[in-house]
């Protein structure tokens, strides 16, 4: 009875983060998500403010450009008040939810950022200058000061350089020097915040990652990782993986863009300090609340652009958040027997009786999956892919790298230099007196020491917008390597890549087509876009 009452209230509440008034009788039971019907999303639910009264419902949906994204809260209703994920536990008014918004698929779309700017005049804590401005010394609440956030959804990540110790205290010997070639934000040459300041730091600019489906990537979220992780990095066997300091278990090192934190707990501590400007680590109870909530969230597209609802029983078994909740974790999907996004066969039969538009869309999605899974191209000059025993180039497919079943990350520690941040592949515009377009991001010249193992495909002098993993490891061969992100809930959180350089799904496909000379046809590009839109 209690479950019925709870489900009804969630449905009536419109499937969004609920106002506290409707909750008094609903909380406490923790309704299983399966009992919650799909709801109509609200146009006004795009933003959850830190500290606001309310709760995360068991299932919520929000419009995106390709239908509706859904967020499944597997343990049922979660009151936001008193929960550290939602509370402004730092000093700048932000909470975890500030950058991991349900309507953005637990990431943060640039559309949501821009709308929040318009509605608050840039006063929302999201725009705190510590990292929501291009540099903290810029005047706040002026669009030019926050241009990278407003244009590309990028937050400033300030890291000490040179680095002499890893996150676990192990010694780091930097193998390269960094010179600032251009500094459009002014932060890397700032006498206060820059590389030559009294406390030298480098500023790079990155997108928030998805807080959802974490059982697939973070051991302390409760799932298993492929091969049990083990002590050695499968992609560089001499390297011992970082450990979760609390459990002593080896991490899959797939949580952050630069893998600098091995667990959700240490990530929460890091984020509370860097993004929430909290002086001391969160309390044990707060950390437990954060990790528990993060571990029970599943995110996926819930309804596609032609109206298919992925909560129905005849949905392909990889689609929708419920399937993410119930599928096995740690399965290598680069395999015909265990395909990365399982099978879409249920659509083959169903689409025969459907309206033409629906049938055509489904056919396109299935073709896109086939391109993703089986169409080979030359994977070339990718550090930590071509160097792991495949040779350079390797004749393979997308799933070679995006191989973890259900989420499409790399099952191994996933940092690779795809070229998104390193020249010559990074997509920053060129200067020209005839064009108004100018590069947004800083450019660094990295020069590796003579005895360092060089970057395998760029050598000892590398131009990069973000050295990525190398800022943590100090290794020349890691320059530009970024941990790949998961492929779920993409439609709700453009732009893509760690530096927001792909403004939409088509731009993402175009990058790969250009980077690997894939010679994709127009139809193949459309199919890939449609395929990714339903994930």
Residues binding another protein (CB under 8 A): 168, 170-171, 173, 226-228, 230-232, 234-240, 332-339, 373-374, 376, 378, 380-381, 386-397, 399, 451, 453-454, 456-457, 459
Residue 394: strand, helix, or coil: strand
Contact 418, 465 (CB under 8 A): no
46 C-beta neighbours (distance < 10 Å), count: 20
HSE-up (13 A, CA, CB side) for residue 482 = 25
Residues 6+ apart with CB under 8 A from 336: none
Task: Please tell me what DSSP assigns to residue 103.
Answer: G
User: Which among 488, 471, 402 has a CA at the least distance from the CA of 259?
Assistant: 471
With CA atoms as reference, report the closest residue to 276 among 169, 466, 125: 125
CB of 317 to another protein, least distance (A): 17
Cβ closest to another protein, residue 277 vs residue 392: 392
The end-to-end CA distance of the chain, in Å, is 34
For the four alpha carbons of 157, 162, 167 and 172, in that order, the dihedral sign comes to positive
Cβ atoms 9, 43 nearer than 8 A: no
What is the smallest separation between the CB atom of 382 and another protein, expressed in angstroms?
11
Burial class (CB in 10 A: 0-12, 13-18, 19+), 441: buried
- Complex with another protein: residue 224 or 288, whichever CB lies closer: 224
User: Count of alpha carbons within 13 Å of 468, Cβ hemisphere only?
Assistant: 29
Nearer to another protein, 6 or 386 (CB): 386
Q: With respect to another protein, which residue has the nearer C-beta, 307 or 391?
A: 391
Strands of the 461-464 sheet, one edge to the other: 176-182, 443-448, 461-464
For residue 403, the minimal CB distance to another protein (Å) is: 9
Beta carbons of 234 and 141 less than 8 angstroms apart: no
Tokens standing for residue 255: 């949580």
Complex with another protein: residue 1 or 450, whichever CB lies closer: 450
What six digits make up the tokens of 266?
Answer: 């240490």
Q: Which is nearer to another protein, 206 or 235 (CB)?
A: 235
CA 43, 44, 50, 53 dihedral sign is negative
Closest-CA residue to 156 (of 202, 101, 89): 202
In the bound complex, what is the minimum distance in angstroms from residue 274's beta carbon to another protein? 25
201-206 vs 394-396, strand pairing mode: unpaired
Query: Least distance in Å: CB of 226 to another protein?
Result: 7
Q: What is the largest CA-CA distance in the chain?
A: 71
Under 8 Å between Cβ of 257 and 251: no
Min dist. Cβ of residue 230 to another protein (A): 5
Cα separation, 65 vs 46, whole angstroms? 13
**Cβ proximity to another protein, 148 vs 520, nearer residue:** 520
Cβ-based nearer residue to another protein, 389 or 429: 389
Least distance in Å: CB of 390 to another protein? 6
Q: Considering the complex, what minimum distance in angstroms separates the CB of residue 496 from another protein?
A: 24
Q: How far is the CB of 156 from another protein (least distance, A)?
A: 30
Q: Tell me whether residue 463 or residue 507 sits nearer to another protein (CB atom).
A: 463
Of 433, 430, 478, the C-alpha closest to 454 is 478
Of 69 and 518, the one with the shorter C-beta distance to another protein is 518
Is the CB of 152 or the CB of 367 nearer to another protein? 367
Beta carbon of residue 89, minimum distance to another protein (angstroms, whole number): 32
Q: How far is the CB of 392 from another protein (least distance, A)?
A: 4
């Amino acid at each position: 009875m209690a479950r019925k009452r709870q489900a009804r209230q969630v449905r009536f509440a419109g499937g969004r983060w609920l106002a506290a008034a409707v909750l008094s009788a609903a909380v406490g039971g923790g309704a299983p998500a399966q009992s919650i019907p799909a709801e109509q999303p609200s146009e006004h639910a795009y933003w959850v403010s830190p500290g606001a009264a309310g709760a995360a419902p068991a299932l919520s949906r929000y419009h995106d450009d390709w239908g509706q994204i859904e967020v499944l809260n597997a343990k049922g209703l979660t009151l936001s008040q008193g929960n550290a994920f939602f509370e402004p536990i730092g000093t700048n008014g932000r909470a975890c939810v500030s950058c991991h918004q349900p309507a953005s698929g637990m990431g943060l779309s640039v559309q949501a950022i821009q709308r929040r700017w318009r509605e608050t005049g840039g006063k929302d804590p999201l725009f705190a200058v510590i990292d929501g401005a291009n540099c903290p010394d810029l005047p706040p609440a002026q669009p030019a000061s926050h241009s990278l956030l407003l244009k590309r959804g990028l937050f400033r990540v300030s890291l000490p350089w040179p680095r002499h110790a890893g996150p676990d205290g192990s010694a780091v010997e930097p193998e390269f020097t960094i010179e600032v070639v251009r500094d459009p934000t002014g932060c890397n040459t700032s006498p206060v915040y820059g590389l030559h300041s009294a406390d030298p730091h480098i500023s790079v600019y990155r997108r928030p990652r998805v807080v959802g489906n974490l059982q697939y990537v973070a051991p302390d979220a409760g799932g298993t990782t492929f091969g049990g992780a083990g002590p050695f990095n499968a992609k560089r066997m001499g390297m011992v993986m970082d450990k979760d300091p609390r459990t002593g278990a080896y991490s899959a090192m797939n949580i952050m863009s630069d893998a600098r934190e091995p667990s959700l707990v240490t990530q929460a501590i890091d984020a509370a300090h860097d993004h929430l400007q909290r002086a001391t680590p969160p309390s044990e109870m707060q950390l437990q609340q954060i990790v528990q909530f993060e571990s029970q969230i599943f995110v996926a597209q819930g309804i596609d652009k032609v109206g298919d609802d992925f909560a129905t029983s005849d949905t392909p078994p990889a689609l929708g958040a419920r399937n993410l909740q119930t599928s096995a974790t740690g399965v290598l999907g680069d395999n015909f027997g265990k395909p990365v996004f399982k099978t879409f066969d249920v659509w083959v039969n169903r689409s025969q009786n459907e309206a033409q538009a629906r049938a055509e869309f489904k056919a396109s999605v299935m073709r896109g999956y086939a391109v993703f899974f089986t169409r080979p191209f030359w994977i070339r000059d990718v550090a930590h892919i071509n160097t792991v025993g495949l040779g350079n180039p390797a004749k393979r497919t997308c799933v070679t790298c995006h191989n973890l079943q259900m989420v499409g990350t790399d099952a191994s520690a996933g940092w690779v230099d795809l070229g998104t941040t390193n020249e010559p592949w990074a997509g920053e515009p060129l200067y020209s007196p005839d064009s108004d377009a100018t590069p947004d991001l800083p450019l660094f010249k990295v020069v590796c020491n003579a005895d360092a193992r060089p970057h395998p495909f760029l050598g000892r002098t590398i131009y990069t917008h973000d050295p990525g993993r190398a800022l943590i490891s100090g290794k020349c061969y890691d320059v530009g390597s970024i941990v790949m992100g998961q492929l779920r809930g993409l439609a709700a959180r453009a732009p893509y890549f760690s530096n927001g350089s792909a403004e939409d799904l088509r731009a993402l496909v175009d990058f790969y087509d250009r980077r690997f000379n894939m010679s994709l046809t127009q139809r193949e590009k459309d199919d890939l876009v449609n395929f990714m839109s339903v994930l």
